[in-house]
Structure formats: C-alpha cells, structure tokens
C-alpha cells in the first residue's frame, strides 16, 4: 500500500493521476497547505522541503518502506514500480525524461510565478507580470509545436504528459485561449478524456479552496512562515 500525502494542486494532481493510471493501491492523506500542515514534524520527516506531494510505499524495494518526495521523482518511481508510462529502451526513455524535466524546470516554476504575480502578490508588479506571462505563452508555444509533430510529448503517453497536463488547465488565469494552440488543445482534450485522469483530478476535490485566500493561508504559502527554520 502507498500512502499519498497530497493536496488538490497541479503538482498534487500529477501523483493522483499516476496512481490511478497505474492501478497501484493507495491511501490519500490530506496535507492542508493553507493551514500549515506541511510544516508538521511528521510530514517533514517524509519531505524536509515541506512541499506536496510525497509518498511512502510500504512495499518498496526489498519489501521495505521507502519515502519519495518531488513530484517528478514520484512519477519516475511509480513508473518503474508498475512498469508503465516510462519506456525501458534508451531512446524513448530519454525522450520521456527530457520532457518531464521540461515540465519540472519550466512549466511548473514559470506557470507558478505567473499565477502568483497575477493573482496573489500583495501589490501589482508590472514587470514580473509581463515577464512570467510571456514565458507561459512561450511554453505553450513550445508544447504546441511539439504536439504538431507527435500525439504526445514523448511520442506515446508517458509520465511527461501526466506531469504537464494539470498545469495546462490554468490557461484562463494567463488570459490565454487554447484555440491559439490547437495542437495543445487537442492533446489536452485527449488526455482529459482518459478515465484515470478524470478520477485523478477528482481526488481531494472537496478540499479545494472556495473564495478568497485567507491571511493565514497566504502566510503559510507565501509569507514568512515557510522561511522559518524547522
């Protein structure tokens, strides 16, 4: 059994979708990042970087417990455990891993910064808004060009698609219309039609924030709380 420590965010949804796609048994343990659960000692023992998601596999290598944090590492671990969504042969495997790293190093951080400065910064910073929004648009363009050549990011459906898909659903926050990127739109709709993806996106649905972010949540996510030594 796998314990999944998560919350309904794009990075959390990566793990939710992957576990549903692989069919591996798991139990969800909510980590309310707005309330500061990520700073609890028990969670820090699993992920010292106090970010979700994280997993503990009680049937890891050699039958021993193993904990894994960082969403990309979790996807690789689950792919290797299940033998699914990450090719074994060198060339297609590297194709999948490089697009996974593209998501981890580009899509996630840049989309996240754009969303922060557009939606959560205490005061407008026009330079930051313009810089990160332009980078988001550029990344959609990279994806669209790639998907004009291939049905999925790495040829076949892999962990690269699973990692990228939840982030692309935020396009309206950046004043982007998916019709501008028809190949990415086709890919998005194709992945969104997969039953496991639909189920994965529903995990912790009842925990999604309704209404404006509270002051406590802002402090825990963006304020001094997360920078205190623990």
How do residues 77-101 score in pLDDT, each as one tens digit?
999 999 999 999 999 999 999 999 9
Confidence tier at 230 by pLDDT (50, 70, 90): low
Q: Return the closest-CA partner of residue 99 out of 51, 162, 38.
A: 162
Angstrom distances, CA of residue 159 to CA of 49, 102, 103, 209 = 23, 12, 10, 27
Interval 104-124 mean pLDDT = 96
How do residues 153-209 score in pLDDT, each as one tens digit?
999 999 999 999 999 999 999 999 999 999 999 999 999 999 999 999 999 999 898
Domains of the chain, earliest start first: 2-84+208-227 (3.40.30.10), 90-193 (1.20.1050.10)
Helix, strand, or coil here: 50?
Answer: coil
**Can you give the pTM of this predicted structure?**
0.96
How do residues 2-31 score in pLDDT, each as one tens digit?
999 999 999 999 999 999 999 999 999 999
Predicted local distance difference test score (pLDDT) of residue 229: 55
Ramachandran region of residue 62, left (φ > 0), alpha (ψ -120 to 50) or beta? left
DSSP string of 68-135, one letter each residue: EESHHHHHHHHHHHHT-SS-SSHHHHHHHHHHHHHIIIIIHHHHHHHHHHHHT-SS--HHHHHHHHHH
How do residues 28-54 score in pLDDT, each as one tens digit?
999 999 999 999 999 999 999 999 999
Q: Supply angle C-alpha 89, 95, 100, rounded to 5.
A: 120
* pLDDT beyond 90 at 226: no
């Amino acid at each position: 059994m796998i314990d999944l420590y998560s919350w309904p965010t794009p990075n959390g949804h990566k793990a939710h979708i992957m576990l549903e796609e692989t069919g591996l048994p798991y139990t969800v343990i909510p980590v309310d990042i707005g309330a500061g659960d990520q700073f609890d000692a028990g969670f820090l023992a699993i992920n010292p970087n106090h970010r979700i998601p994280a997993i503990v596999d009680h049937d890891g290598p050699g039958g021993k417990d193993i904990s894994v944090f960082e969403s990309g590492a979790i996807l690789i671990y689950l792919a290797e455990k299940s033998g699914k969504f990450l090719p074994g042969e060198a060339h297609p495997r590297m194709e999948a891993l490089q697009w996974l790293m593209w998501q981890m190093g580009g899509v996630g951080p840049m989309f996240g910064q754009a969303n922060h400065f557009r939606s959560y910064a205490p005061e407008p910073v026009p330079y930051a808004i313009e810089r990160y929004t332009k980078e988001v648009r550029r990344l959609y363009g990279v994806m669209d060009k790639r998907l004009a050549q291939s049905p999925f990011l790495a040829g076949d459906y892999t962990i690269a698609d699973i990692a990228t898909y939840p982030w692309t659903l935020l396009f309206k926050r950046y004043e982007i219309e998916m019709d501008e990127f028809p190949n990415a739109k086709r890919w998005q709709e194709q992945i969104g039609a997969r039953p496991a993806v639909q189920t994965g996106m529903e995990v912790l649905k009842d925990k999604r924030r309704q209404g404006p972010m509270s002051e406590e949540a802002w402090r825990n996510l963006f304020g001094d709380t997360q920078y205190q030594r623990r």
